[in-house]
Amino acid sequence: MSKVLIQMSMSLDGYVAGPNDNVLPLHEWMFAGPGSPLGEELPTPDQQIFNELRAVTGAMICGRRLYDITHGWNGSTPFGAVPVFVLSRSVPAAIPSGTTSFTFVTGGIVSAVAQAKDAAGGKDVYVVGGASIDQQVLDANLVDELRVDLVPVLLGRGIRLFEIVSWH
């Protein structure tokens, strides 16, 4: 049964992004070890967590802002050939070419989740963010699991997970 997952890296003081959307101090753990970023032999426990997420993910959902900030991961997300559904108000004229296929969904979050589930081949749907998308999918009661990876850094400023994610 396909689950809908949110998995976020959070600093010890509760931030999921620093000032100016900077997430590097929070995501370094994914890419810091030997064989990184995407070797098949990733030895550290941190990288095992990332590999586990990759292994269960059959499709991804992101928002248009995150897509734009990452420049569409330059065409290839760290999840390789897994399709990405981008919740968006419009379809961009050009899409960077790479290993990832992008579908732009203008019909809202419920439609995006349905399409991602269809595409996931029985694996899970990973909602990669950003914050607005996380909140929308939570508000629609479509999240099966929210995972927090606590990172032992202090950011002091930024966007707090539990200000953007509300609970009903």
Q: Which part of the chain contacts its own copies (CB under 8 A), choosing from 26-34, 69-77, 134-142, 159-167?
A: 159-167
What number of chain residues touch its own copies (CB under 8 A)? Answer: 11
Interface of this chain with its own copies, residues 124 to 153, rule: CB under 8 A: 148, 150
**Among 14, 25, 33, 78, contact with its own copies (rule: CB under 8 A):** 14
Enclosing H/E stretch for 69: helix 64-69
- Minimum CB distance to its own copies, residue 103 (Å): 33
**Nearest approach, Cβ of residue 78 and its own copies (Å):** 26
Find the shortest distance in angstroms from Cβ 62 to its own copies. 24
Which amino acid is present at 135? Q
Nearer to its own copies, 39 or 156 (CB): 156
What is the Cα–Cα distance from 84 to 60, expressed in whole angstroms? 5
Residue type, 12: L
Tokens of 167: 């609970």
Q: Is 167 in the site for its own copies (CB under 8 A)?
A: yes
From 126, 127, 129, 134, select the one nearest 165 (Cα to Cα): 134
Report d(CA 108, CA 89) in Å as an integer: 9
If one asks whether residue 13 binds its own copies (CB under 8 A), the answer comes out as yes
Q: How many CA atoms lie within 13 A of 54 on its CB side?
A: 17
Residues that bind its own copies (CB under 8 A): 12-14, 148, 150, 154, 156, 160-162, 167
